[in-house]
Structure 1
């Protein structure tokens, strides 16, 4: 029986590593194996910023990958948490009763939804702001070089 509350929290905390996909679909899930790639590239972007500074253009593309992956997993956690018990059990617990306890929404599920909404939104907005700010600063610097 796949528990909806556990899946919600696992998607929030371990989503960028694909842990929720392995929990729900098993170790043969290709998406679960592919999710760590943008996560690792984003972490590499953070390391590039620490090594080369904020002017590193590659980090402008790599860091948002981590942010978008975290935001997408947070959105997925919200979708799991808000799924009706009937739909949850039909999809992830076939053969179980429609109102099986594994698909019920509890206070811990609601907490997972709220935390996912809060953190996911903050990470998404931060990633967009970082990326756009660095891009526009680069454009201004290049325009300044052309004008001189």
Structure 2
């Protein structure tokens, strides 16, 4: 018999530890390949954040690494939203077939609300940061050509 996977817990694990793939490990175990693909880009993004603190905003390596963190946060929040909005019947059929669905209540809904706020902020910040750095790079290229 397999362990019953809680939709509420899966939603909140994705919100809190989704950038490291913890939600994938909760649902599919430690053999899940997609779960193991989460930590590296997240850690590279955190390294980019550290580089900004050490070298300032002009560090080009940080320009490349920071968007990874924003994208991983956005991906984790999207997973939480998908989990939280999955109907109870579909969740039960996928994660514990043959058993009746459990009514989940407000737990996943609150997780979805938090995930929407955090995910939207992360995605908008990532797009703004990437756009700003791109246009600064374009302006720098134009200045170097004009010289």
- TM-score tier by shorter-chain length is over 0.9
Does residue 1:141 correspond to 2:140, yes or no? yes
Does residue 1:132 correspond to 2:131, yes or no? yes
Among candidates 10, 15, 18, match of residue 18 of structure 2: 15
Q: Name the TM-score, length of structure 1 as normaliser.
A: 0.93
Does residue 1:27 correspond to 2:26, yes or no? no
Q: Which stretches in structure 2 are left out of the alignment for 5+ residues?
A: none
Q: Which residue of 1 aligns with 2:107?
A: 108
Among candidates 54, 65, 69, match of residue 68 of structure 2: 65
> How many pairs are equivalent?
144
The CA deviation at 1:27 is: 1.0
C-alpha deviations, 1:48-77, integer Å up to 9, x for none?
112221111221121111101110110110
Q: Name the TM-score, length of structure 2 as normaliser.
A: 0.93
Bigger mean CA deviation after superposition, 27-36 or 138-147: 138-147
Q: Which stretches in structure 1 are left out of the alignment for 5+ residues?
A: none
The CA deviation at 1:123 is: 0.4
CA contact (8 A) 1:15 1:73 kept: yes
Cα distance between partner residues in 2 of 1:53 and 1:62 = 14
Note the aligned Cα RMSD (angstroms). 1.1
